Amino acid sequence: MVTTEVQRILLLVGLAATGYLMLLAWNEDYLRGGSSSSTVAPQSSEQYDTADIPSDMPSDIPAVSRPERTHSDIPDDSLIGSSEVSSSAVAAAVQPGRRQLVKVTTPKLHIWIDRVGGDIVGVHLPLFPVAIDRKEDPYELLTQGNGRTYIAQSGLIGPDGLDRADSRPVYRSDADTFDLGDREELVVNLRVEQDGLRVVKSYTFTRDDYLVTVDYRIENRSGYPIEASLFAQIKRDNLEPEGGSSFSLGPQPYLGAALTTPESRYEKLDFDDLDDDGPFRLQMQGGWMAFLQHYFLSAWIPPPEETNTYYGQRRNDGLYVFGYTGPLKKVADGAVGEWSTRFYAGPKDQKSLEKIAPNLNLTVDYGFLWWIAQPLFAVLDWCYTVVGNWGFAIILLTLMVKAILYPLSAHSYKSMANMRRVGPQMKRLQERHADDRQKLSQEMMALYKKEKVNPLGGCLPMLLPMPIFIALYWVLFESVELRHAPFMLWINDLAAMDPFFILPLAMGASMFLQQSLSPAVGDPMQVRMMKMMPIMFTALFLFFPAGLVLYWLVNNVLSIAQQWYVIRRTEAAQAAKN
């Protein structure tokens, strides 16, 4: 006959197993199911004139729709201090629904350029799969179609600019597709001629870079001088990126624009700012304007010597634009005028971003503990170069942190050992003054003073790693290097949560074991609450990145070993005195 106690244990085990299986099923159905993303080239629900598309154009070039022009894509002339518009260089009118695309392929970028305006309307990142189980599908960063808009626009505005509120220039190209192949550099030229102006818009791509140079060259044969200013902007909806984020109980990645200003090296400009405060304007030399999302960003970087007007605003159609306009440049008759800017579309690689422009690396946003997170990532990156695996790099980092904090932790564990020593006396006081809390507190304080025991000293081991823990959370969450980074066995993405919740459960068990080595401090209610902490932390850590849980698990195991060693040594020393 099975005893009641055994039945209770079997029931608890059954309930725990059932809850674990339900959690796995919920994770599979809701969390993973919501993170899928289509990397198929965006298709248009609008009709466009296929006569403009060459018959030999590859089928994988996205057919991006041209919506009716009810809203202008061109910045207002007030942004460059010019209200006069002459008729010296009227651009070819764009007919709604007509579009031709040029595809450019490099090892790091697949880019689609619209001949209308020469805008970048699609960017795929072949080195970054959209999902861990879809390695053949590149991540889609910029796109237009299927109800989504995220494109990079540039052009010439001003008194004699080619780009107008009601028309964009229609460029011609030497080919429909370009492939960098074995070359180190590829230049794609788009040309248009009108009213005595010969215009070349050039895109320069390099093999090992996500940075693209955009140049304008105008040969003025109009018979009179012209003036124009370059604009570059990012046009986007306010939707979350498809597949760009997953369910998490922790802080969410920032989605919005950012720029550097004279007052702030890194200033956010999100959708709510423009909705609540209206258009944003700022004039400064150099700088950059970027749009950020989880792991990736796009950015326009003007020449550092130019003074530009940066802007952000919400359009009447609900889309947002973030960009800048450069100074007006005059091109004499018979002369050649040149404008230049750079565009970045790729991962938040802080090493590369730091080289591109001052403070652009700050778009890797580590939160308020950035001053801990940045050196932490530097050490973690060094550890990776040593061990070649980000999971083992996290373990090595944890060992280094524990070694640095060892003296302080040892002092705290000695306090714990002393608390264990006076534990029997404390228990007698609690029994004697169970009905008088004030008397109990007075007697306990007297006991602490007599035995030279600090009841708060044992809390330090728990508090010391917390800032590092929070900073490491942001390191794992923001650093694209850890996206899809495998560890071992079932952990194939350290930046995602453990699919089987094994690490969080092991972490909870280690926390329970660590707590069992610590003396119970406080009244019975506080003791019971402390016993609930491992359960609460386990439930919370179920949804944290596996790399973060690995750090905390290894930290707990090392703490248990250190705690056991220090307490035994302290008790032995005390016994020798007696």
In the chain, domain spans = 148-164+182-241+253-365, 374-577
Please give the Cα distance from 210 to 125 (Å, whole number): 9
Report pLDDT for 522: 53
Which of 68, 211, 234 lies closest to 150, judged by CA?
234
- Label the pairing between strands 289-292 and 256-259: antiparallel
Among the residues of 142-222, which ranges form H helices? none
CA atoms lying within 13 Å on the CB side of residue 329? 20
d(CA 359, CA 301): 12
Instruction: Give the closest residue to 64 by CA, choosing from 143, 152, 141.
Output: 143
Burial 322-348 (b: 16+ CB within 10 A, else e): bbbbbebbebeeeeebebbbbbbbbbb
Distances 427 to 441, 443, 498, 521 between C-alpha atoms, Å: 13, 12, 41, 10
From CA 129, how far away is CA 140, in angstroms rounded?
9
Q: Write the CATH number of the domain with boundaries 148-164+182-241+253-365.
A: 2.70.98.90
Q: CA 530, CA 460: separation in Å to the nearest integer?
A: 15
Q: What is the pLDDT of residue 476?
A: 82
In contact, 200 and 171? CB cutoff 8 Å: no
Tens digits of residue pLDDT in 43-60? 333 333 322 322 333 334
DSSP 8-state symbol, 321: E
All residue ranges of the chain with pLDDT < 70 are 1-71, 77, 81-99, 243-251, 409-427, 429-431, 434, 436, 447-465, 517-527, 530, 570-578
Residue 452 backbone dihedrals phi, psi, to 5 degrees? 55, 55
What are the b/e assignments for 180-209, b being 16+ CB within 10 Å?
A: beeeeebebebebebeebebbbbbbbbeeb
CA distance 344 to 459: 47
